[in-house]
């Protein structure tokens, strides 16, 4: 029986309620919302003069009404120490979403911590230290002193290479320019930490090296390009679910305006189904290729375009490198780069060859090439916007596959022009501003393996939960737990000792192979179970936060409530950590080293913003961003005129390319040679197991469900991670809807709930990633590419039934997710 909140009415927002700008802190689209707050003992009325919207709320509001909000958009939170009403609802005037809310963002209010309504009581309020066999709350000073003393001992007795750091690099949530700067300054300026990794991958590296090496930054268009184009070319992405309002507010109007759509994905996604409804099935071409074969498809499309003379000759002549090889393949560059002619020597693939590799017809591949590049009947060039995401970013042969896709956009001149662009769609918002990370090296250290090999002594973790979101997770968890337990045991054994004795005991355990773990997060996460010190952070809107979205639209998302308990912004936690390092190092007589930790006298997140982002972009201030509201400004900011920040609608509009740093500003093509499975162990695993275990996302969950795991609306729908499965496979294995099943291979095992899906192919299942109740990463092998990009998407296993449906799973809907109109 479906979860109901039994709300029969909500407080009305009074006319004088405070209004704050909010950018949704979940996905990269960054929808505009407005937060309204007002005192607890006040309320608005139904008369137009009595409410914020000037509407007669005694009457029914109709479709797409601005003045309606629902219970998930309401809460009671603390603001300046007082409890206030809060409504967070979509902003009809934001050009990104035009008033549309998503199933994620429209629950932002409900997912705020509240001591009054009891929501999100899992949020951390105070620092905690492993003490006497449990985590005990303590003061910031006590916790920070222990962190600094152990860290300082380890990096001075050994080196900074003994400090391993996992840190987010994204915007939104608890990321953003303020917080990436705070952590970046600590680890890349005060220190030169190179054994670090990012929240979703086991090294500190780009997810899209090749497009950058080709000169093309990965976020180069404007969302309006979807409405100005002739064809939307989507690869390895499912935007209806994962960039919902980009799809609904920009792609759908494009489709309804006559654009065609090509979708490359082994799975028939909801985006394919919905696009067929919006555009007509005859205007949607779904290329359901064999998993991992995207590159061969792109090469054939490119070959067909070039051989038919559909390339953009002027663009190629003026904007791309023409003189053979520009960059040779080597250990840091997994494919040669150069002119189109040079790349074609490697990329040339016939339609039939690709059909054989990809498992789709040559006719359909040709049709895709025609939709992408064949000139219109009047001879004018066809516009095509290309978008891609995890299907190839976390896919087979990341570097060459993305390079092969960008080749098509370059050959057809679809970069920097209206209706063009070749862009990743993104996960989180962006919000990266850090000192140069060149010391990390390329390829960067494979940090998970570094830890598994027993290296490193201290692990600082910032808002990452590798238990749920890394590859080879089963082994990683076993080793991380064993090593951190050694330190816990040492702490327990030293109970009652002085701080010096405790630090000695911890360092002794580290030297014996243990790992001291500091976890900075908003909740007590799964990897946090291994922590010795836990530091509570706050999120966007509990602090001011700046980020940019997938069209580089930068906004200030305003603070409308207090940080929960004694939690703090990550940037201020980093500053405090730096100050403690300075103090402890000075006590140790390491004055020169201590001096490196100066420069963190920040009182607020705005101070961190000014110290970092503003120093590099002096036009951009909080006041100016606040004035730009939810429409913000598209980066890079070009100036400040007539009281407004001046942005840049799309990159490379002048036909020059600079992301690779080349003086000639010419874009390069990628010699994307197909080589089958690139990562170690994939071919063998595929041969050994029956099922391909696709790793997918769902609109209902934000990332690893860190908040949603305590949201009843979400957990009622999917109490276990769903595993979409062909009904015939289910019948064959005597699996019923909602039964718990186990996926097993040599890497480990994971569990989920069978969800019958008639559009799933036989012997292919799609498991939602990152679930607290079953990590898909457990069964993903450690294979990565030359630059340590993981291939999460390619994993094979066997499936067995674990249990019949539980009382929870038996009660939920197992019908098709595809709309039937």
Partner 1 sequence: MKCNRMVDAGRRQFLRGGIVGAAGAAAATVLPAGQAKAQGLARVDYPSNRLANIADLVVNEPMDIEYPDADSPGILIKLGETVEGGAGPDGDIVAYSVLCPHKGWMLSYNAGDKTLNCPGHHSRFDCEAGGQQTWGHATNNLPQFALRIDDQGDIHAEGVDELIYGRLSNVLES
8 Å CB contact between 705 and 751: no
Structural tokens at position 398: 């990341």
Reference 199, options 815, 713, 704; nearest CA is 704
Q: How far is the CB of 242 from partner 1 (least distance, A)?
A: 13
Exactly one of 25, 107, 260, 400 binds partner 1 (CB under 8 A); that residue is: 107
Using left for φ > 0, alpha for ψ between -120 and 50, and beta otherwise, residue 176 falls in: left
Residue with tokens 């309401």: 74
Residues 587-626 that bind partner 1 (CB under 8 A): none
| Secondary structure string (H, E, C) spanning 778-811 | HHCCCCECCCCCECCCCCEEEEEEEECCCHHHHC
Closest CB to partner 1 among 43 and 350? Answer: 43
Distance, in Å, from the CA atom of 527 to the CA atom of 483, rounded to the nearest integer, reads 13
CA 182, 187, 191: angle at the middle one, nearest 5?
A: 130
- Report if residue 256 touches partner 1, rule: CB under 8 A: no
Instruction: Report DSSP state, residue 175.
Output: -
Neighbours of 393 (CB within 10 A): 28
Count the site residues for partner 1 by CB under 8 A: 54
Distances in Å between the alpha carbon of 381 and those of 216, 260, 635? 21, 15, 28
Q: How far is the CB of 13 from partner 1 (least distance, A)?
A: 9
Q: How far is the CB of 821 from partner 1 (least distance, A)?
A: 5
Exactly one of 25, 304, 381, 717 binds partner 1 (CB under 8 A); that residue is: 717
Q: How far is the CB of 549 from partner 1 (least distance, A)?
A: 18
Neighbours of 189 (CB within 10 A): 16
Distance, in Å, from the CA atom of 390 to the CA atom of 695, rounded to the nearest integer, reads 10
8 Å CB contact between 342 and 406: no
Closest CB to partner 1 among 270 and 422? Answer: 270
- Report if residue 72 touches partner 1, rule: CB under 8 A: yes
Closest CB to partner 1 among 237 and 301? Answer: 237
The mark string for 212-241 relative to partner 1 (x by CB under 8 A, - otherwise) is ----------------------------x-
- Report if residue 244 touches partner 1, rule: CB under 8 A: yes
Exactly one of 9, 80, 118, 663 binds partner 1 (CB under 8 A); that residue is: 9
Q: How far is the CB of 28 from partner 1 (least distance, A)?
A: 17
- Report if residue 102 touches partner 1, rule: CB under 8 A: yes
Residues 450-509 that bind partner 1 (CB under 8 A): none
8 Å CB contact between 539 and 20: no
Using the CB atoms, write b or e for 260-287: b if 16+ within 10 Å: bbbbbbbbbbbbbbbbbebbeeebbbbb
**Three-state SS at 126:** coil
Reference 800, options 751, 728, 727; nearest CA is 751
**Three-state SS at 519:** strand
Distance, in Å, from the CA atom of 733 to the CA atom of 111, rounded to the nearest integer, reads 39
Q: How far is the CB of 673 from partner 1 (least distance, A)?
A: 40
Reference 117, options 72, 158, 171; nearest CA is 72
Q: Which region among 106-114, 176-184, 531-539, 639-647 touches partner 1 (by CB under 8 A)?
A: 106-114
- Report if residue 821 touches partner 1, rule: CB under 8 A: yes
Q: Which region among 3-11, 445-453, 561-569, 757-765 touches partner 1 (by CB under 8 A)?
A: 3-11
Distance, in Å, from the CA atom of 142 to the CA atom of 147, rounded to the nearest integer, reads 9
- Report if residue 820 touches partner 1, rule: CB under 8 A: yes
8 Å CB contact between 324 and 660: no
Q: How far is the CB of 114 from partner 1 (least distance, A)?
A: 17
Structural tokens at position 349: 């693939």
Reference 569, options 589, 543, 595; nearest CA is 543
Q: Which region among 7-15, 330-338, 359-367, 527-535 touches partner 1 (by CB under 8 A)?
A: 7-15
- Report if residue 773 touches partner 1, rule: CB under 8 A: no
- Report if residue 721 touches partner 1, rule: CB under 8 A: no
- Report if residue 815 touches partner 1, rule: CB under 8 A: yes
Q: Which region among 8-16, 217-225, 387-395, 432-440 touches partner 1 (by CB under 8 A)?
A: 8-16
The mark string for 108-147 relative to partner 1 (x by CB under 8 A, - otherwise) is --x-------------------------------------
- Report if residue 716 touches partner 1, rule: CB under 8 A: yes
Residues 31-70 that bind partner 1 (CB under 8 A): 46, 57-65, 68-70
Closest CB to partner 1 among 482 and 817? Answer: 817
Exactly one of 73, 146, 203, 351 binds partner 1 (CB under 8 A); that residue is: 73
Q: How many residues does the chain have?
A: 821
Closest CB to partner 1 among 73 and 502? Answer: 73
Would you tell me which residues interact with partner 1 (CB under 8 A)? 1-10, 12, 46, 57-65, 68-73, 100-103, 106-107, 110, 240, 244, 248, 270, 274, 277, 699, 713, 716-717, 811-813, 815-821
């Amino acid at each position: 029986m479906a979860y109901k909140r039994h709300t029969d009415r909500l407080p009305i927002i009074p006319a004088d309620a405070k209004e704050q700008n909010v950018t949704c802190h979940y996905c990269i689209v960054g929808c505009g919302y407005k937060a309204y707050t007002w005192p607890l003992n006040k309320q608005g009325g139904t008369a137009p003069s009595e409410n914020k919207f000037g509407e007669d709320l005694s009457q029914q509001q109709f479709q797409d009404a601005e003045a309606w909000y629902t219970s998930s958009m309401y809460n009671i939170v603390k603001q300046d120490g007082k409890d206030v009403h809060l409504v967070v609802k979509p902003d009809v005037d934001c050009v990104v979403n035009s008033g549309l809310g998503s199933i994620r963002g429209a629950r932002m209010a409900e997912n705020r911590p509240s001591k009054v309504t009891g929501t999100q009581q899992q949020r951390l309020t105070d620092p905690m230290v492993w003490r006497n066999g449990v985590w005990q709350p303590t003061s910031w000073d006590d916790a920070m002193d222990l962190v600094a003393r152990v860290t300082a001992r380890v990096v001075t007795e050994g080196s900074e290479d003994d400090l391993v750091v996992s840190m987010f690099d994204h915007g939104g949530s608890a990321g953003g320019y303020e917080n990436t700067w705070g952590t970046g300054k600590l680890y890349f300026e005060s220190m030169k930490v190179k054994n670090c990794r990012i929240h979703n991958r086991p090294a500190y590296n780009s997810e899209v090296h090749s497009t950058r090496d080709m000169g093309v930054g990965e976020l180069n268009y404007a969302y309006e390009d979807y409405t100005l184009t002739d064809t939307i070319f989507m690869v390895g992405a499912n935007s209806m679910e994962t960039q919902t309002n980009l799809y609904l507010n920009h792609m759908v109007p494009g489709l309804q305006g006559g654009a065609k759509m090509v979708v490359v994905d082994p799975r028939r996604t909801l985006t394919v189904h919905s696009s067929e409804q919006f555009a007509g099935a005859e205007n949607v071409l779904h290329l359901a290729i064999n998993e991992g074969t995207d590159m061969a498809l792109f090469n054939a499309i490119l070959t067909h375009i070039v051989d038919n003379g559909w390339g953009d000759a002027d663009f190629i002549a003026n904007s791309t490198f023409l003189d053979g090889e520009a960059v040779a393949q080597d250990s840091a560059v997994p494919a040669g780069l150069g002119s189109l002619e040079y790349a074609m020597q490697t990329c040339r693939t016939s339609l039939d060859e690709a059909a054989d590799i990809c498992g789709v017809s040559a006719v359909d591949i040709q049709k895709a090439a025609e939709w992408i590049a064949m000139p219109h009947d009047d001879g004018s060039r066809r516009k095509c916007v290309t978008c891609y995401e995890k299907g190839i970013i976390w896919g087979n042969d990341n570097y060459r596959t993305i390079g092969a896709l960008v080749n098509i956009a370059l050959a057809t001149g679809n970069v920097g022009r209206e209706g063009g662009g070749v862009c990743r769609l993104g996960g989180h918002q962006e919000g990266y501003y850090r000192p140069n990370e060149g010391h990390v090296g390329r390829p960067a250290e494979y940090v998970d393996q570094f830890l598994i090999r027993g290296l490193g002594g201290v692990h600082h973790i910032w808002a990452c939960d590798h238990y749920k979101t890394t590859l080879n997770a089963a082994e990683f968890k076993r080793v991380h737990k064993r090593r951190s337990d050694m330190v816990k045991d040492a702490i327990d054994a030293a109970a009652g000792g002085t701080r010096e004795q405790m630090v000695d005991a911890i360092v002794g355990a580290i030297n014996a192979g243990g790992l001291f773990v500091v976890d900075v997060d908003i909740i007590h996460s799964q990897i946090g179970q291994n922590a010795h010190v836990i530091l509570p952070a706050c999120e966007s809107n509990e602090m001011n936060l700046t980020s940019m979205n997938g069209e580089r639209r930068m906004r200030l998302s305003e603070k409308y409530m207090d940080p929960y308990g004694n939690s703090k912004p990550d940037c201020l936690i980093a500053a405090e950590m730096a100050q403690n390092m300075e103090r402890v190092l000075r006590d140790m007589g390491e004055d020169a080293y201590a001096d490196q930790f100066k420069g963190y006298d920040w009182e607020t997140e705005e101070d961190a913003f000014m110290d970092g982002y503003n120093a590099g972009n002096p036009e951009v201030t909080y006041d100016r961003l606040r004035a730009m509201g939810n429409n913000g400004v598209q980066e890079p900011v070009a100036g400040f005129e007539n009281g407004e920040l001046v942005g840049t609608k799309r990159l490379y509009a002048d036909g020059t390319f600079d992301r690779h740093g080349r003086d000639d500003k010419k874009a390069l093509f990628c010699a994307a040679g197909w080589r089958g499975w690139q990562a170690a162990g994939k071919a063998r695993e595929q041969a050994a197991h029956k099922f391909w275990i696709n790793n997918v996302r769902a609109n209902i969950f934000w990332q690893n469900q860190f908040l949603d795991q305590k949201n009843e609306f979400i957990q009622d729908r999917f109490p276990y991670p769903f595993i979409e499965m062909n009904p015939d496979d289910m019948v064959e294995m005597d699996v019923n809807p909602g039964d718990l099943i186990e996926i097993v291979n040599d890497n480990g095992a994971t569990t989920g709930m069978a969800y019958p899906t008639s559009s799933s192919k036989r012997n292919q299942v799609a498991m939602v990633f990152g679930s607290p109740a079953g990590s898909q990463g457990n069964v993903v092998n450690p294979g990565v590419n030359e630059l340590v990009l993981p291939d999460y998407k390619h994993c094979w296993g066997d499936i067995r039934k674990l249990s019949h449906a539980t009382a929870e799973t038996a009660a939920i809907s197992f019908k098709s997710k595809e709309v039937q109109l």
